[in-house]
Amino acid sequence: MKKTLSLLIALVMVLSCFAFASTASAEERVMGGTVTGAMNVDVNTYASWRIRSQQEKTALSPVYETLMRFDAEGNLQPYLAESLTADQANLTYTVKLRDGITFSDGSKLDGDALLWNFENFKENSQTSATHFGSVDHFEKTDDLTVVIHLKEWNTQIPFSLNSVAGLMYSKKAFDENGYDWCLEHAVGTGPYVMTEYISDDHKTYEKNPTYWNAEAEPATFDKITLKIIADTMSAQAALLSKEIDFYLGSDNQMKDTLQSMGYNLYHNKMWYTIYFLIFGSAVEGSPLADVKVRQAIAYAIDSDAISKNLDYGMSFVSNQYAVEGTPFYSSEVKGYEYNVEKAKQLLAEAGYPDGFSTKISVGVDQRLDRYMVALQGYLQKVGITVELDYQETAIWTSKGIYETDEGMILAGHGFGANLVNQAVNNFSKRAISGVGMLKNSKLHPDDLDAALMAALSAADNDIMLENMHEAERLIIDEYCLGYPVVMGYGGEIITQPDIIDSGFFADFNEMHTWTNLYRVK
Amino acid sequence: MGSYFKFIAKKLLLALLTIFAISVFAFLIVHLMPGDPVRVMLGAEADEAAVEAMRIQLHMDRPLVTQYLIWIGNIFKGEFGKSLVLNLSIRSLIAERLPVTLSLTVPAMVISIVFGILIGIVCATHRGSFIDQLLTVLMTTMNGVPVFWIGIMLMYLLGVNWKILPLMGYVSPKADFADYVKHAILPVFIMCFGPMSSIARQVRTNMLDVINQDYIRTATAYGLPVSKIRYKYALKNVLIPVITLIALQIRSIVGGSLLAEQVFSIAGISRLITMSVMNNDFLTVQALVLVISTFVVVANLLLDIAYGFVDPRIRLTGGK
């Protein structure tokens, strides 16, 4: 017994040593040195207010920071701001800045700079309507405070301040150099400064020597080089030869191959891409105007098989317009499990026992061929003959992608912390005058519109989520206005095994925290 | 010699007419597109007011002929306008990118011509031998295998496995010539691939044809040295149709640079055109189509002029 006990103690001690060793190794960050990454396309701008694409967010995150930031648990917290105070009765949000924040050009982030950033964004950003559409005006009340005055209440302002609308650009740089100069030069408050860029080739960043938050969040690398590698095969070769440490823009096959070889794959926890099958119903008497037909179509599609077989398991399935694990996800939504018999039964009940003919339209730029052919096959099984309609990018874009009169549309779009805004633009009655998914639909249920508008103008977060959850149920279960075919990750990077992401891409923020990317020994 | 100048003048006039036709085509690219070009440029989400403002800024509210005259007038002044996406002067973009592309395409062209002719001569003069068969199979394979695949394979072999060449990127010859050569080997090689094999096969066929002609047989009978017969008398006649082929291969190399710059991540003019097409940056596309086409037309004109030096019949008859 004594011997057994001694052996057990020895075993525990040995295992403890291993455990400590592995913890120590996991924590052993290499500070300094260079990291070399690559993206598939270059940025089109360096000015914070013009940022739109994922690549621009990645390439300019070393330089720019947001007023609000999600913490590790997914709670939105002030970052450059010290506080954000909502006052629904007076239709205002008050932003108070932290004291002592400086831009890399030495100027101070104060009330004047904040006021200018807000006004400039509202005036010049291409996404101004999305973020500041409800803003009436801005007012500086003291050296560190600006009040946002709204025309109508909008719960999404804090989320917008976590997005591009919350990025701060140096007012001094703008005043001294002018608008056009700013489009080509990034001057922010971030941990790095851009020291060189050659368009379509590479960018170099070096540590910001005067970074205001260096003590709490030190830059892990002395230098970052970001290359442009458009071709996926070339990027894979660059990763294999260790010419680059990480890549943004890989396709599913590349991710699958490299992940099986021990490379790390990280994705954002808040931002996703949904591939929605939208049911057009502008034509009177269209089979798609019947909810049972729409539900039959939803039941007829095996999304799990599409994700597993066509996307190498790199996409996933959600039964609604939100992803499990995010606050917008509703456990009340039932969705549609793959069930051919149920689909046939619903079609028969709707008066189409032998099916019917329709079409699915897609823009050629969307690169959704693989889904289109699969959808055609699944619907054929329940008797629905589908014509695949590939529309030229120019036609698709110029007439508005959701302006198809009859049939279905397959379209992907990104969403995340702005889901309420997205849902309002796509599924409320606002979609008719805008460019939302239901723009050309005759289906604009009053209760859905009410739920969405209530979410947008809710007094607090709980009421917003309660209404958003109800809207999800109405969109999917009650009216089946669209079917989420599969979901993709909004931002994903593949890294060398020794490059660790502890909240760079793998967090809830739209902009990336470069100080959370590091190398381990 | 007077008729040779007439020949050059005729070719020059033809080249100018071609450039004019290209300018009209490049200008019409925007208008031939389906849909509203301004809406396509700004995207589906843009406000109608922004679309209208852009239409006015680009003079697209004016008659088509007026728009063309404004555009071509600006180009004569060296003003191509600003890239709608990058917000940079298109002239500076071209000035930055053209040397990169030329530093790869010119060596590719020179290597294709020199080695293509040499290989063709070796094959013809050693007809039926092992070396002829080996090179012929190699040239046929080079012409048949997709260049993209060869590029990726070479990249994996030389860059990933053996690590003897850099995988991608570009270094200016002015900055570091040795590094430029190291970076240029793979892209130049894949650009040469098709043109070199075409030239070699053409030279081989022509050479075989020429060395069996009576005047060569006579020269041989007179006891002239073989090298003199081959390189002084035969080669000149072999090269006349080859010059036509070289003119065609310029286009092939320009096309190859699109692929090479994409695969090897080189920020040259060909990648700029790809990026501009993908981003609906029509002003840049228009300018680049005009510049690249003009470059090809001028290169072809120079080759037409070179005919006169190689073929005295053209010098004397003006190409009639």
Q: What is the pLDDT along chain B (320 residues), one digit of tens a residue?
A: 567 788 888 889 999 999 999 999 989 887 777 667 777 777 666 667 777 888 888 888 888 899 999 999 998 888 888 887 777 889 999 999 999 999 999 999 999 999 999 999 999 988 889 999 999 998 888 878 887 888 888 888 998 888 898 888 899 999 999 999 999 999 999 899 889 999 999 999 999 999 888 988 898 898 889 888 888 888 888 888 888 888 888 888 888 888 899 889 999 998 898 888 877 788 899 999 998 899 889 988 888 888 777 777 776 665 55
B182 contact A CB<8A: no
User: For residue A235, what pLDDT is reported?
Assistant: 93
Instruction: Please enumerate in sequence order all residues whose Cβ is within 8 A of that of B232, keeping only pairs 6 or more positions apart, or say none.
Output: none
Answer for the pair A238, A47: CB distance below 8 angstroms, yes or no: no
Strands A34-39 and A246-248: parallel
User: For residue A8, what pLDDT is reported?
Assistant: 45
Residue A402 has pLDDT above 70, yes or no: no
Residue A163 pairs in a beta bridge with none
**Fold for the domain defined by A14-64+190-271+491-521:** D-Maltodextrin-Binding Protein; domain 2 (3.40.190)
Instruction: Assign domain A65-178 to its CATH superfamily.
Output: Dipeptide-binding Protein; Domain 1 (3.90.76.10)
Average pLDDT over residues A378-399: 85
Angle at B143 between CA B137 and CA B144, to 5 degrees: 90
User: For residue A399, what pLDDT is reported?
Assistant: 64
Task: Give pLDDT tens digits for A81-124.
Answer: 999 999 999 999 999 999 999 999 999 999 999 999 999 999 98
Residue A184 has pLDDT above 60, yes or no: yes
Average pLDDT over residues A438-453: 86
Distances in Å between the Cα of B271 and the Cα atoms of A199, B255, B278 are 11, 11, 11
- Residue B250, SS3? helix
B267–A229 CB contact, under 8 Å: no
How close B175 gets to chain A, by Cα (Å)?
15
Chain A with chain B: Cβ pairs closer than 8 A: 104
A201–B267 CB contact, under 8 Å: yes
User: How confident is residue A5, by pLDDT bands cut at 50, 70 and 90?
Assistant: very low
The single-letter code of the amino acid at B302 is L
Q: How many other CB atoms are found less than 10 A from the CB of residue A9?
A: 10
CATH 3.40.50.1220 fits A272-489, yes or no: no
Distances in Å between the Cα of A513 and the Cα atoms of A60, A62, A190, A265, A503 are 11, 7, 9, 17, 7
Chain B (252-291) residues lying within 8 Å, Cβ to Cβ, of chain A:
262-267, 271-272, 274-275, 279-280
Answer for the pair A483, A336: CB distance below 8 angstroms, yes or no: yes
| Residue from A371, A266, A274 nearest A329 by CA | A274
Q: Where are the domains of chain A?
A: 14-64+190-271+491-521, 65-178, 272-489
What is the distance of C-alpha B240 from the center of its chain?
A: 20
Residue A368 has pLDDT above 60, yes or no: yes
B263–A435 CB contact, under 8 Å: no
Closest residue in A to B82 (Cα) is A180
How close A473 gets to chain B, by Cα (Å)?
27
Task: Collect all residues of chain A within an 8 Å Cβ-Cβ radius of residue B266.
Answer: 201
Answer for the pair B265, B155: CB distance below 8 angstroms, yes or no: no
Closest residue in A to B149 (Cα) is A233
Q: How many other CB atoms are found less than 10 A from the CB of residue B146?
A: 10
